[in-house]
Every structure is written in structure tokens, then in C-alpha cells.
Amino acid sequence: MNTIYHVAKSGTKTGNGSTENPFLTINQAAQVAVAGDTIFVHEGVYREWVSPVNAGLNHHRRITYQAFPGDKVTIKGSEEIKSWEHIQDGIWKVTLPHSFFGDFNPYKEEVFGDWLQKEDPRRHLGDVYLNGMSFFEAETYEELENAEVRTERPDYWTQETYTYVNPEQTKYMWYAEVSAETTTIFATFYEADPNKESVEINVRKACFSPLKVGIDYITVRGFEICQAASPWTPPTSDQIGMVGPNWSKGWIIEDNILHDAKCSAISIGKEGSTGHNHHSFRADKTGHQYQLEAVFLAHRIGWKKETVGSHVIKNNTIYDCGQNGIVGHLGCVFSTIENNHIYNIASKREFYGHEIGGIKLHAPIDVVIKNNRIHDCSLGIWLDWQTQGTRVHGNVFYRNNRDLFIEVSHGPYVVDHNIFASPVELDNFAQGGAYLHNLFCGPFEIQNVLNRSTPYHFPHSTDVAGFSFVHSGDDRFMNNMFMQTNSKRTVGTAGYDDFTTTFEEYLEVMSKDRTGLWEGQQAIYLDNNAYFNGATAAKHEATSHTWKDFNPNVTLEEEDGRLYLSFELPEDYIAKGDIIETKTLGTARIVAAPFDAPDGSDLIFDTDLNGNKRLEKADIGPFEQLKGGTNRFKIW
């Protein structure tokens, strides 16, 4: 029997969830709902951590949490504060007893964990919001007295200048002192009176996540979810996001607006029993070693398709988060991430570590990431370790510090029909990738990794088949467009000049090592790419199309919520190629597996970015029906 429950601000703690007698909190419904039930949440702000205790049974009998149609429903991890005391020149304070926070005080808890840059200033999980605007944390009270607008700072990764998205925001700061009995928060409000404006502070670690594992088949739909003190989420910790399934299967997270998570908005990652920041607490092994252990510990608790992963994250807007829009290690397998708008991730630059990105996944086995719009992030998508059977398709990247980073993975994975329009497009610290029909407007870096051997798997499985270092190569670049814009570095595939060009040539070179242990740079397969405005082809590309002195004048334009891409082509332009499919691409050498779909079927790249059918001789790049002169396409 499927039951419909109602939650409303007019409800009571003794309500039964009926229309006439609704629950007061979503968590009341979460304690009683069972497979097949639907919870409608009515208009209002709900300040709570929703923790479902029961699971759905399958995709057809799930438990659905949904904003009532037409109602604006917000779930917040914050509390509103109206007891501020003015102390000097726009600086106010509030003192709260520890009982206000319970067993979790974000102003005592630091941003902490593996892979975090320890030399950075200490940051805490708390935050202060004035009419929804997040403040910056000060290191000392004196910094509040001297707060000023900061327009730019060096980027941690490149050390190039980063300009703040909203410089005026940088002068708004908070500082906390935690004693044995109380927490005092100081903040700069300037001309605003915090007792008359809306001022909120972080209180809860999460907004919607079960405390138990194995709470499968839950739908979270149509909410605004924000202002949570979510902790740092490396791949070697209990990955807690503002929203997430906590090591479960079959969640659907769709049509939500998620913002202002201290670290990560959505986590589809690992749980704590497989390791929790051991490198930081113990410091007796490298983080890499603990991450390897996490893979095998996960197998012992049932890391397989039948028990975890297969989530759908779609049609969400995610912004203003300190670390990730979407994060996951191990628990993200077999999932689909599509049609999300992700921006302003790590744009405050308050802390930094090697786990930051609009989407940051480890072990994204058979994960499909498609049709997402990702911009103004420290890094767009970072796929790290065990990127296998993964497809990155039809995404739009721009104004990111970097667009795509694929690290210590062995393939096969496919990157096709994407728009890469940021200053740096790709860091390829992996092998066994197929890059097809993309538009690259900036440079990319190729690097082998000989100090970390990482796992690879039997095709479409979590079972480990072996380990390998990354020697670079075994990549395919076919039917891509490379358009040099304003980059200081050369765009194109010339970085592969010294690689072998066929598998047979690679075998011949390798056979000269009589120990059988030699592993040099592998073959690289380049064919039918187009190069403009100084973008450079590798010297051994089979067929290339080059317009060295032609500037395509690439532009992105936002109009009424839509995004358009324009570029110019020579009047006599023509560059076409055969339809690419799984059999065209061969197999990834280390894994000995084909470039196929997550379900094992063949991939055929016969439609363009906008879903148009390609001709038998297809246009190079993401779009079909290209022409000389100006081409303009709606891409979002």
C-alpha cells in the first residue's frame, strides 16, 4: 500500500502526516515512510537534518521526498540569529551556549583531512550569512578590524592570478572564539543591522542524508537545500555531503537548487568503515596506500553493482560550495550525472587540497557524465583513479581554472562532444582514453605517473583485475577541433610528437628490453583533427586539417538563461571523417577492454552535441552542418 504523507509549517509534532494533520518536520515523515510512499513537503523553510531510516525496494517502489508542486521549500543546515550585540565600527558579536550546537560545533571543528594542504590557514566548518551571502573566515579578531575588499589572489594550483567572482563579498568576515562553555562569533556587518536583516549561521553537518548505510532507492526532488557545515571529503574519509545516500543504491537527486555547502553539496561516496583520514591522524603510511586499502576494504563490505551506486543526479543547480558540487569515491559507480548547472565551486579560495572540483570522482566505473554546464570553478571535472567505462559526453566548460583532469587511470574511457573553453582544457595524467568530436580552445598537459600504481578492473565490474603505473599514451584523439584562443601555451596534440604511433611499433620498441620489464610511452592514435590559429598537430598524425593563420573568434554568449557558442570558419572550410564507433577504437592496452557503453553494448558516435543525426561523412568537432563563415549554436 502506497501512502502519501504531508509536511507543512502548520503541522505539529504529534501530526500523523495527513492533509488535515500534517507533520511539522520532514524528519517525522522520514521515520515512518516505507517503500512506495511519497512525502509532499509544503511551502516554507525547514531547518533540520533529514535522515531516512527505511529504504525503498527497487526503482518502482522507492520512497520519494518532494516539494509540493508550486511550493518553494527550503531545507537549511543553518539557524537564524537575532541576538547580535554591536561592539565597534560595524563589528557585532553573539555568544551562544554549547547546548545550542549539541554534539557538533562547526566553529570548533576544522576543515581537516587527507589531501588537504596543511600549510594553509586553519579554517572551520562554520559560516555566517547576511541575506544569503556567505562571509569569509578571519584568522584573528584584528583582521576583522582591518577588513578590506580583496579583488584577486594567486590560484593554488597554477599560481596565476585569480579574480574573485564577487570582490565586495571579501570584506564581510567572521571570527569565532570557543571556550569551555560558550562560542562567541564576531562578524563585520558594516551599515547592516544583523538583528533586522536575515542573518544565519551554520549548525548542522548535513541537510538530507541517512545516518545508516543501505538506505536504498530514495528520491529527493524539487527542494532548495543550503547552508550546511559539510566536512572535507577526500577519498580516504567518510564522505559526508550536504545531501547524499551514505553508501546506498539507486538514489535519484533531481530538480533541486543546492548551494553554500562548506565543502561538498552532493556526496555519492564512501562511508567511514573503509577508512577515515588515517593518513592525517596516523601519518604512518602515504595517502595513496590508505586509498588502495579503501578499495579492498570496500570489497569486504559489498562494493558491487548489486549493493551500491547506480544513482541518478540530474537537472540540479549547484553553486557556491567550498570544495565540490558532486563528490564520490567507490559509491559513485554505475551512476549517471546529467543536465546539472554547476558553478562557483571553490571560488572563495578559503582552503585548498587535492580534492576540489565541480565534479570530483574516484573510481567512476561505468559512470556517465553528460550535458552538464560547468563554469567559474577552480576545476570543472576531476576523475581520479579507476576511470574505467566512464563517458564524459556533451558537457560545456568555460571560465574554469581548468576544465578536465583525468588522473592515474588506465581506461577505457570516452570523452566526446564536449565544449572546452577555459584557459586550460585538459590535464591528462592517465592512459587509455578516447577523445572524440570535442572542441578544445586551450592547451592540455600530458604526464606519466610512475610513483603510484593504481587498480584497474574487469570490464563493467568492481572486481580488481590488476595494478599499473601510468606511462602516458594509449589515447585516441579523433575528429576534434583545436582552436587556439588567448593561451600562453600551444593548443593541439604536438605534445605527442615523441610517442610511438602504432601498437606494432610500441611492441617492437618494448621487445628490445630483454628483462620484459620496460614500459615506455605507449602508442598514440591521432587522426582527422582540425587545427586553427596556431594550434599544432603532432607531426605523425595520420590526417590533419590545419588553418594556421585563421582566427575562429570563439565567443560564448548568455541570453535569457540560454548559452550560445559562436565561431568562424574559412569560407572554403571542409573537414569530415567516418562515423566513429567502438570497433574503430580498438582496446585499451592495460585493461584489454573495448571502448563500449556501460551495459557492454557498442557505442556509435552518430549524433552531434545537439542530438542531430550525423551524415555518413561526419563533420569534425561537436556539431554537424558546419559551414564557412559564422556558426552559432545553442549549447545550453
- Residues 6+ positions from 569 with CB-CB distance below 8 Å: 550, 552, 626, 627, 628, 629, 631
Q: Rounded to an integer, what distance in angstroms lies between the CA atom of residue 126 and that of residue 121?
A: 15
Query: What is the full DSSP assignment across 338-379?
Result: ES-EEEEES-S-S--BS--EEEEEES-TT-EEES-EEES-S-
CB atoms inside a 10 Å sphere around CB 103: 5
How many residues in total does the chain contain? 636
Burial of 137 (0-12, 13-18, 19+ CB in 10 A): buried
Contact 589, 412 (CB under 8 A): no
Q: Where are the domains positioned within the chain?
A: 4-76, 79-202, 426-636
- HSE-CB for 615 with a 13 A CA cutoff: 11
Is the N-terminal amide bond of 598 cis, ω within 30° of 0? no
CATH for 426-636, among 3.90.1150.10, 3.40.47.10, 2.160.20.10, 1.10.30.50?
2.160.20.10
Q: Which three cell numbers stand for residue 519?
A: 614500459
321 three-class SS: strand
Of 383, 378, 371, 379, the residue nearest 419 (C-alpha): 371
- Please say whether the beta carbons of 235 and 294 come within 8 A: yes
**pLDDT computed for residue 518 by the predictor:** 60
DSSP per-residue codes, 222-250: S-EEEEE-PPP--TTS----SB--SS-B-
Report CA 333 to chain centroid distance, whole Å.
Answer: 14
Closest among 476, 463, 480 to 594, alpha carbons compared: 476
Burial class (CB in 10 A: 0-12, 13-18, 19+), 88: exposed
CA angle 585/383/160 to nearest 5° reads 115
Residue 524 is predicted with a pLDDT of 95
Within 13 Å, how many C-alpha atoms sit on residue 492's CB side?
Answer: 25
pLDDT at 352: 86
What CATH number is given for 79-202 in this structure?
2.60.40.1180
How far apart CA 82 and CA 200 sit, in angstroms, is 9
Q: What is the DSSP letter of 115?
A: T
Q: How many CA atoms lie within 13 A of 521 on its CB side?
A: 16
Element holding 133 (H helix, E strand): strand 133-134
Residue 300: phi and psi, rounded to 5, are -70, -25
Q: Residue 603, SS3?
A: coil
With residues binned 3-state (H G I as helix, E B as strand, rest as coil), the percentages for the chain, rounded to 5, are 10, 35, 55
Chain position carrying cell 595520420: 542
pLDDT at 512: 73
* Phi and psi, residue 378, nearest 5°: -60, -40
Q: Phi first, then psi: what are they for 525, rounded to 5°?
A: -110, 105
Q: From CA 481, how far away is CA 620, in angstroms rounded?
A: 7
Neighbour tally for 632: CB within 10 Å: 11
Q: Are 157 and 378 in contact (CB under 8 A)?
A: yes
Distances (CA, A) of 613 to 117, 296, 319: 47, 44, 33
pLDDT at 508 (0 to 100): 83
- Torsion angle defined by CA atoms of residues 539, 409, 395 and 231, in that order, rounded to the nearest 10 degrees: -140
CA-to-CA dists, residue 238 to 102, 168, 270, 300, 331, angstroms: 21, 35, 6, 16, 11
Q: Greatest CA separation found in the chain?
A: 81
Q: Which amino acid is it at 13?
A: K
pLDDT along the chain (636 residues), means of 10: 94 97 98 98 98 97 98 98 96 97 96 84 93 96 89 68 82 96 97 97 98 98 98 97 98 98 98 94 92 95 96 98 98 98 94 93 98 96 97 97 96 98 93 98 91 96 96 96 81 92 85 64 94 94 93 94 96 94 96 96 97 95 96 96
Cβ(382)–Cβ(360) below 8 Å: yes
